[in-house]
Structure 1
Amino acid sequence: MRLVLQDDSWLPVYTLEQDEVERIEAFVNIPAMSEHEKVGFLESVCFLLSTARFCCLQQGLDVFCHKNHLAETIQTLLQEQPTDQLRTEVRHLAMDAIAELSSVESGLAEQGRRLLETCCKSVFFLPPKEEFWGLDTYYYVRALESMDNMLWSLVLNSPDPRGGEELQSILQLLLHFSCCPSPVVRERALGRIVALTQLLEHHHTLRNLRPTCRSPFSPIPPEELPAPLLGQLLGYLLLFCFAKDGTSSLALDALCGLHQYLLRQEERPKPEHKLGELRWDEETSPQDLTMRFAGSLYPRERTDIVCVVIEAMKDSSIFDRRVAEDILELVMSDLDFWLAEMPSVVKSIRECLRNSSREATGCRMDALLVLMAIKRPRALTISMVLNVPLRDSTDVGMWEMVLTVSKTSEALRELLRMLQDTRDTSIHSLVTMASGAGGAEGAEEPQSLSTVSVLLECLSKLSENPDLARKLQRLLPHIMGSIRDASEELRIKALMILWNVMGHLPRAEASSIAVGLVRDLRPLFDGGCSQLRELSIRLFRFLLELVLGCDRWRVRSKTWDLLLPLFFRMSDQSHSVAEASREALLAAATLLGWEELQRLLERRQMWRVAECLVERSRKRIQGYLYQSLQYLEDAQVPLQEAAIRFIGLAARPLKGKSPRKLGEICRALEPLLHEGDPGLRSLAAQTVLILRSAPERRSLGRCLQALCCWEWRSFP
């Protein structure tokens, strides 16, 4: 940056406009409040910057503008202008100055958006034209002309390729004002949109009108008008065309300009029938006018029209709801043609329902949701998961409606199945896989790469609602399958879904489902996270308490295999896990009708529980032994100790009968002879010694006493 001198004589334009430079600096340093001095300051800014632009002497002006805070000063002058005062030069001169300031590189700095909003408020909120008299009309027209010129300049003076971005920003702001409750503000905002549509037309004869920047009448390349904006703009203009106030003719003028723009774009989609001049009369329907543009739009642009129409239905004070419903009926007649991006449509439906009465829009939105669920179940399901988080009754109502369609549940099951088959758990990858067959849903690809935890989080919230939970019961086997190799965080979410759904089902219905889920919980008992271990064990107990009648006999065979893992988990270092294991083992003993085991657990005689398991389960003793071996490698020393003691007890009957199996067990214990924990080493050594000693005739009770270190950890 050039070194800033005390005066500004270094500016190349200084020699031509010295008086203007000095006048600007004097006003900025000692702001004057008189109308005459404000006008003089703004005129000096316009003269200085226009001279520099036409004479190519703009070097250093960015430093001058920033040093003297020109943008901030102009904004302050505009804000001070009362909206009930028309006969002032300040308003239109301020906008002329902004137009010139936009020709200076970074002249507006970060003030561009705030300046534009201030200008809109200063002009749009002036009194209605009917209240003008005398010179009021002259000043009003001058202000509008200056504003249109300023808007053109802001777009055309933007460096490539930011011209399109600036145009989009301006149009979005104008669309915001066009939805203002005041019809006067809406009309003035639409008038500026009409002026801006002229930038999209070709006028080659005026290309060299402004030598230092692109002509305001030169064409805007199509890539500079972002597709999403064009769809939104057309959506609003189509609605305004059928308004009962003065915006109808303005909207039609803007549509004519956009129609010509679309006809001139060679690379755009071509409609089936060649389009002629855009005509409109009283017999033209909203559907007819919409279809005049639809064939020339990209899919995303058509979707944006739909979003605008949906959101317009929430406020009948601005738009005619019947017009929006007519266009929506057109959309529903060919959903694949109109809906290219499902998430945007889902967001718009949610916004409409949250800000309007159910009686006014509910039926139409419900019909659209159901049709989307039938036509595009996979895309709709993913969009609902990502964008409808069940925060209020509106979200619940949307999910209730969507889940009434069987294809939605099928789509959820498909997503859960794919989680089971792939390690890539991003929603993006799921959509790609789900859309592999092509077709209408193949175009759906949400930009958000949210992980599948979002899916489980959504299902978890759905399962908290009794009505929705009952509709999710078919997903339960798929949820269990999807978490086999998932993170512990996802497993916990999945278990909460299971618990919620099963808790909301009638017991007779939940009983048969519980039988199929019991065995799937076994791997989770040994999870690394204590929260996961406790939740899975408590859920196991909950499922056992749900089974009824003949289902109790079906679940008994599965329960036997879970007794020993629960027994070992009673030695868990986590008090809550140990207590949950005791309660679950007690529930299992109750189901099996095992009164002695029940009594021992109720009295907390843990050291006798092992003896009881061995005595009652002699046919399963070899299976118990191999189950015990895996706990020798557990990270918790108390569980290793419990496994050694149980092995010492259960393997004693093998002495003299199965030396090969006994040798395998002793070899499994040998690595523990070198463990760091001295108590564990001693217990392992003593157990190996006893198992390898000569067999003796003694009762099972005396076998317990033979292990001198047999002191089970007292249960807390």
Structure 2
Amino acid sequence: MEERPPSRPRVAWGESGAPQESRPPLEPYEVTEVQSLHSDADCLPLYAEEENEDTEEKEAVDIIERFLRSTEKEEMLKMLFLESICSICRISKKNGLCESLAIFCRERNLAEEVKELLENEPMDQLRTAVRYQAMLAIAALSEMKAISEEEIIRLSHACFKAIFCLPPKEDLNICLYNQTMRAMEKMLQSLLVSHHTSNRDKLQNILEVLLLYTSSQTKTVRERAMEQISKLYCFCQEPFGKLLQPSQRTDIVLMALEKTTEDCAVEDSEWSEILLDMVLSQPSDWLMDAPVIVRFIHRHLKSNSTSIQETLFSVLEVLAYEFPRDVLMSVLIHLPQNDSTMDMWKNIIYCTQSSESILEELCTVLVEEEICGIPIEELDLLRLTVSYQTMHCAFIQGSFSPVPCFPCLAPQNGKLGKVGVEPG
């Protein structure tokens, strides 16, 4: 039997001292198409495969050390450095050397080096794959548990800023931009599943960083952040409304609604629909600021698109069912008296889901002193719409029986008066 030749010890990155300069000068970096392995590659002896890994590992460590010593980070060396991180992580994972690799990465402070590369990328252009490769490197380091929880937050922030703040994708290399966004998704997923802390804690940390960008004054930045939030929700498949502050939840709802009212690309409408489905499935967590959401719906009801109006009314109906008093007061008192307000009122009155709760609240507020003391000129809509015929029709359609006699509204010295209604 042929005797296996001796191989050098594995874990090249564990050797002490700086590697010797045995590599030839680096050639300009070129992006080449990946070639398929030869069909008989599986027939190679096991030791040949290990020797190839040893060589690849040693070369990767040489490049990392060369990068760390370099005072000027040329584009080609940046790419090779990031690729080398992915290589040593892949080989170490295969050979069960994750703990030793994590020590090596922390001693060389590789996470900080990657962060600095991202921070030094020009914000007005996307001409190289540095961002793409940096996020693959972060994902690889995360899988090896070679970065701390604190580093995750800083790295996430650096990645989001490096991509979200780019010009609109129409002004960029679309292919490279799409690849970079997919790399970000892979990175975030790796960050969520690879560390010892709970998914809930990691998700909350990442969401808090993402939400910083949802309040940006630049629309493109906000939209990119919202897209990543929706994709995180799809990946986690767990409610995360309670991880956010009420104002943050409202911001997400409004941005998702805003996207549905615009002419946008298919992928943009898809993530907005995902977020709206999440919101409507957990209304008590997401629709807490009912007056703000009601005002948004009112402003956008003039759209000529039937599908947009249907979406807005579906949100209004759920909102009215969940928070009937807030919706009632917003529609009848706080909104301007116009056709859009009337349409909203008719919708919640005649909707099977919300009419009962809305009318119960109406019966309550009509006898409250602070409501009855409001000048009648501020309640024109209420006076015009809450007639006996409207109430009678609404209650007949609902589950109320028999039809009771309700207070009607009549001006008495400029104030709202309570007068019994005789059956017509």
Identify the TM-score tier after normalising by the shorter chain. 0.5 to 0.7
More relative contact order, 1 or 2 (CA 8 Å, 6+ apart): 2
Question: Of 265, 268, 284, which aligns to 1:250?
Answer: 268
Match of 1:297 in 2: 282
Match of 1:85 in 2: 125
User: Structure 1 pair 327/169, CA: closer, same or farther in 2 (3 Å)?
Assistant: farther
Question: Of 104, 125, 128, which aligns to 2:165?
Answer: 125
User: Are 2:26 and 1:41 equivalent residues in the alignment?
Assistant: no
Q: Secondary structure at the match of 2:99?
A: coil
| 1:30 to partner: Cα distance | 3.1
1:605-616 alignment runs, 5 A limit: none
Question: Of 183, 192, 207, which aligns to 2:219?
Answer: 183
| CA–CA separation in structure 2 for the residues paired with 1:108 and 1:25 | 22
1:412-451 alignment runs, 5 A limit: none
| 1:159 to partner: Cα distance | 3.0
The one-letter amino acid paired with 2:261 is: A
Question: Of 210, 213, 231, which aligns to 1:174?
Answer: 210
Percent identical among aligned pairs is: 26
User: Are 2:292 and 1:310 equivalent residues in the alignment?
Assistant: yes
User: Structure 1 pair 25/194, CA: closer, same or farther in 2 (3 Å)?
Assistant: same
Q: Secondary structure at the match of 1:306?
A: coil
User: Structure 1 pair 85/185, CA: closer, same or farther in 2 (3 Å)?
Assistant: same
Match of 1:140 in 2: 177
The CA RMSD measured in Å over matched residues stands at: 4.5
Match of 1:17 in 2: 57
| 1:92 to partner: Cα distance | 0.8
1:280-679 alignment runs, 5 A limit: 293=280, 296-297=281-282, 299=284, 301=285, 304-307=286-289, 310=292, 321-322=299-300, 330=317, 333-334=320-321, 363=334
Tell me if the contact between 1:241 and 1:247 (Cα under 8 Å) persists in the aligned partners. Answer: no
| 1:22 to partner: Cα distance | 2.9
Match of 1:164 in 2: 200
Match of 1:395 in 2: none
User: Structure 1 pair 173/142, CA: closer, same or farther in 2 (3 Å)?
Assistant: same
1:19-71 Cα shifts (integer Å, max 9, x gaps):
21232123223343211111111111111112222333212222222211111
User: Structure 1 pair 253/140, CA: closer, same or farther in 2 (3 Å)?
Assistant: closer
Tell me if the contact between 1:235 and 1:306 (Cα under 8 Å) persists in the aligned partners. Answer: no
Larger Rg: 1
| CA–CA separation in structure 1 for the residues paired with 2:69 and 2:149 | 20
User: Structure 1 pair 109/326, CA: closer, same or farther in 2 (3 Å)?
Assistant: same
Match of 2:72 in 1: 32
User: Structure 1 pair 309/192, CA: closer, same or farther in 2 (3 Å)?
Assistant: farther
| CA–CA separation in structure 2 for the residues paired with 1:258 and 1:75 | 34
The one-letter amino acid paired with 1:69 is: N
Tell me if the contact between 1:99 and 1:153 (Cα under 8 Å) persists in the aligned partners. Answer: yes
User: Structure 1 pair 65/337, CA: closer, same or farther in 2 (3 Å)?
Assistant: farther
User: Are 2:95 and 1:55 equivalent residues in the alignment?
Assistant: yes
Report the TM-score when normalising by structure 2.
Answer: 0.54
User: Structure 1 pair 129/253, CA: closer, same or farther in 2 (3 Å)?
Assistant: closer
User: Structure 1 pair 336/195, CA: closer, same or farther in 2 (3 Å)?
Assistant: closer
Match of 1:153 in 2: 190
Tell me if the contact between 2:256 and 2:276 (Cα under 8 Å) persists in the aligned partners. Answer: no
User: Structure 1 pair 103/403, CA: closer, same or farther in 2 (3 Å)?
Assistant: farther
The one-letter amino acid paired with 1:19 is: E
User: Structure 1 pair 151/404, CA: closer, same or farther in 2 (3 Å)?
Assistant: same
Tell me if the contact between 1:243 and 1:320 (Cα under 8 Å) persists in the aligned partners. Answer: no
1:182-225 Cα shifts (integer Å, max 9, x gaps):
3322333333334334314xxxxxxxxxxxxxxxxxxx5x47x4
- Count residues in correspondence: 284
Tell me if the contact between 2:121 and 2:162 (Cα under 8 Å) persists in the aligned partners. Answer: yes
User: Structure 1 pair 8/158, CA: closer, same or farther in 2 (3 Å)?
Assistant: farther
Tell me if the contact between 1:331 and 1:338 (Cα under 8 Å) persists in the aligned partners. Answer: no
User: Structure 1 pair 27/165, CA: closer, same or farther in 2 (3 Å)?
Assistant: same
User: Structure 1 pair 40/6, CA: closer, same or farther in 2 (3 Å)?
Assistant: same
| CA–CA separation in structure 2 for the residues paired with 1:239 and 1:309 | 15
Tell me if the contact between 1:237 and 1:255 (Cα under 8 Å) persists in the aligned partners. Answer: no
Tell me if the contact between 1:84 and 1:126 (Cα under 8 Å) persists in the aligned partners. Answer: yes
Question: Of 127, 132, 135, which aligns to 1:95?
Answer: 135
Match of 1:111 in 2: 151
Q: Secondary structure at the match of 2:159?
A: helix
Q: Secondary structure at the match of 1:59?
A: helix
1:486-521 Cα shifts (integer Å, max 9, x gaps):
xxxxxxxxxxxxxxxxxxxxxxxxxxxxxxxxxxxx
User: Are 2:113 and 1:73 equivalent residues in the alignment?
Assistant: yes
Q: Secondary structure at the match of 2:114?
A: helix
User: Structure 1 pair 311/61, CA: closer, same or farther in 2 (3 Å)?
Assistant: farther
| CA–CA separation in structure 2 for the residues paired with 1:44 and 1:320 | 55
User: Structure 1 pair 229/255, CA: closer, same or farther in 2 (3 Å)?
Assistant: farther
Tell me if the contact between 2:86 and 2:140 (Cα under 8 Å) persists in the aligned partners. Answer: yes
